[in-house]
Amino acid sequence: MSVMDGLQQKLQQQLSCIYNDVDIDISVPALAAQLIDIMRITEYCQVPEPFVNHWSEKDIIMITYGDSVIQQGERPLTTLAQFIDSYLSCINAVHILPFFPYSSDDGFSVIDYSSVNEGLGSWADISAIASKRRLMSDLVINHCSSRSLWFENFCKGEGVGHDYFFTAEPDDDLSAVVRPRTSTLLRPTETPSGTQHVWCTFSHDQVDFDFRNPQVLIEFVRIIRQYLDAGVSIFRLDAVAFLWKIVGNKSINLPQTHEVIRLLRTLIEHAQQDVIIITETNIPNTQNLTYFGNANEAHCIYNFSLPPLLINSLITGSCLYLKRWLMSMPPAQDGTTYFNFIASHDGIGLRPAEGLLEEDEIDTLVDTMKQFGGQISSRTTEDGLQKPYEMNIALFDALQGTTKGKDQWGMQRFVCAHTIMLALEGIPGIYIHSLLGTRNDYQKLANTSHNRAINRHRWDLNQLTEQLNDANSDHSQVLTELTNLINIRTQQIAFHPNATQFTLHLGLQLFGFWRQSRNRKQSIFCISNVSDQITDLRINELNLIIAEHWVDLLSGQPIEDITQTMQLQPYQTVWISNVRI
């Protein structure tokens, strides 16, 4: 069987699974052929090799908006590119959050997927960034803006998009639907055929697509092809867990959703084998893990449980829950890995902590974040109750103290959080405002009345460079510390995203794990004091091999006596390695 015949057959099987219960106006073979044609896959393509890791220990992804750093009279994407080159050369990949024309939600309500927001720059600017670093782009696949041409045509009842949106009836049983918002699910919309009630998982400006219509799938495959041509090599599938809807169902994590992701992966990897798919599924941990499939779905999944659990450890001084979770996490098989982060443009999600943190722990965590200036966003449960959904706060402020209140250890605690995250199995993602030590933006919060705005500051380049050139400023110290950590991390083969990881048992104040390189030549014992007390680390509990030479990679200090007891200062981390690369 030829490569093309095999691809055609595989796509037909996937499409048959997706549309098994749907009458579509195109034959499955014809649809498969059309998708192949759109992706420009030819008979000369290679069969993708399974279980291949398209990443290494050198990969660090920075998360940023296109206008997180601005300079008067210059396109923000140009400013961003120059700033990265000047100050963030340690970063080899960048996730530019939605850079398209939009109407709300800071870019996630897309008006036109095929254009770059003129206020940011052009496709040439996007491609210029992609020419120097791996570029990650959002594929906002669940919904679009109510101001898009597609939705305008839906309202007119004619033209491209008039049948792209999911509707239901007000008297349908929608009580089981799971969603992260408190607004009403259905949006009444006048059309030539009468009032239609459009499904809106997130807001009434974000109208959900109806993937039962294969034309919607065709449109997104066209979009993917355009992004590949522009240099995008990592696709973040935004809110993809909600993609397929069934009235009377929870309408989350449905089998058809998983099959759509598998189909998109099949197309993408035949077009360009080293492209990565990351699914953004802010849901309980066990559900999140299913998006790996059998190494045939997402290449990476967000480690959404890490931020709340790590912050909980650092404000309580106990790693109990963090350690339990890490012990329960399955090692990612080759061809898959975790995407680790502790801060992003969104808040710190609490749903991924459900079942991992006790309710009273979550309550304490929420109360502490409020004391540090954070906002709390809620969702409506299936019982109609309001429940905290995410904590909105800058990470630097979130870690300025403990449950006892603010203290003098904020900087050390903040750096400790990153030493833990950078050493864990997976690819690290660091928010630009973490790299810069940005604080809560109360002015933006007041101006927008949106809780998430508190962590979406926009820096003026001149003011930022003034801060970064002042060695005494928090911003300069943070960037220096994190740059040093990244430079050390990226030189260690034991920090390959798929290198072996085992959890250590060193009590509740010391959080530790062991990494071993895939060739077994390097071991690193990563141990952090998560408390505000000086804590003893008994080196002999690590079972270091006496014939090896050991060194703390972070301080450069050799471990002369493997029977010694080392005192770890509050929030100090050691990376004890037998090889210094």
Domain layout of the chain by residue ranges = 61-146+209-493, 500-577
Contact, 43 vs 7, CB < 8 A?
Answer: no
Question: Under 8 Å CB-to-CB from 581, ≥6 apart: which residues?
Answer: 491, 492, 493, 522
- For position 546, what pLDDT does the model report? 84
Cα(495)–Cα(126) distance, integer angstroms: 30
Cα(496)–Cα(150) distance, integer angstroms: 43
Question: What is the b/e burial string over 98-115, where b = at least 16 CB atoms within 10 angstroms of the residue's CB?
Answer: bbbbbebbbbbbbbbbee
Contact, 526 vs 423, CB < 8 A?
Answer: yes
Cα(143)–Cα(165) distance, integer angstroms: 9
Cα(459)–Cα(462) distance, integer angstroms: 9
Instruction: Name the fold adopted by 61-146+209-493.
Output: TIM Barrel (3.20.20)
Cα(569)–Cα(412) distance, integer angstroms: 10
- The model's pTM is 0.96
| Tokens coding 285 | 């941990």
Catalytic-residue membership of 238: yes
Contact, 133 vs 84, CB < 8 A?
Answer: yes
Cα(569)–Cα(406) distance, integer angstroms: 18
Cα(512)–Cα(387) distance, integer angstroms: 32
Q: Would you call 418 helix, strand, or coil by DSSP?
A: helix
- For position 581, what pLDDT does the model report? 45
The DSSP bridge partners found for residue 189 are 196
| Tokens coding 31 | 């649809």
Q: Would you call 389 helix, strand, or coil by DSSP?
A: strand
The DSSP bridge partners found for residue 95 are 63, 136
Q: Does the annotation list 345 as a binding residue?
A: yes
| Tokens coding 212 | 């039962």
Q: Does the annotation list 143 as a binding residue?
A: yes
136 class by beta-carbon count within 10 Å (0-12 exposed, 13-18 middle, 19+ buried): buried
- For position 380, what pLDDT does the model report? 75
Q: Would you call 574 helix, strand, or coil by DSSP?
A: strand
Instruction: Name the fold adopted by 500-577.
Output: Immunoglobulin-like (2.60.40)
Cα(474)–Cα(418) distance, integer angstroms: 16
Cα(58)–Cα(89) distance, integer angstroms: 12
The residue among 162, 259, 296, 253 whose CA lies nearest residue 216 is: 162
Choose, from 67, 205, 208, 238, the residue flagged as catalytic: 238
- For position 51, what pLDDT does the model report? 94
Q: What is the pLDDT along the chain (581 residues), one digit of tens a residue?
A: 788 999 999 999 999 999 999 999 999 999 999 999 999 999 888 889 999 999 999 999 999 999 999 999 999 999 999 999 999 999 999 999 999 999 999 999 999 999 999 999 999 999 999 999 999 999 999 999 999 999 999 999 999 999 999 999 999 999 999 888 888 999 999 999 999 999 999 999 999 999 999 999 999 999 999 999 999 999 999 999 999 999 999 999 999 999 999 999 999 999 999 999 999 998 888 999 999 999 999 999 999 999 999 999 999 999 999 999 999 999 999 999 999 999 999 999 998 998 999 999 999 999 999 999 999 998 877 777 788 999 999 999 999 999 999 999 999 999 999 999 999 999 999 999 999 999 999 999 999 999 999 999 999 999 999 999 999 999 999 999 999 999 999 999 999 999 999 999 999 999 999 999 999 999 999 999 999 999 999 998 898 888 789 999 999 999 988 888 999 999 999 999 997 54
Sign of CA dihedral 250, 356, 105, 143: negative
- For position 492, what pLDDT does the model report? 97
| Tokens coding 573 | 């981390």
| Tokens coding 218 | 């065709």
Contact, 298 vs 332, CB < 8 A?
Answer: no
Residues 403/406/407/408 CA torsion (nearest 10 deg): 140
Rounded to the nearest 5°, which phi and psi values hold at 529?
-85, 110
Q: Does the annotation list 452 as a binding residue?
A: yes
Q: Would you call 102 helix, strand, or coil by DSSP?
A: strand
Q: Does the annotation list 346 as a binding residue?
A: yes
| Tokens coding 525 | 């014992």
Helix (H) or strand (E) holding 467, with range, is helix 461-468
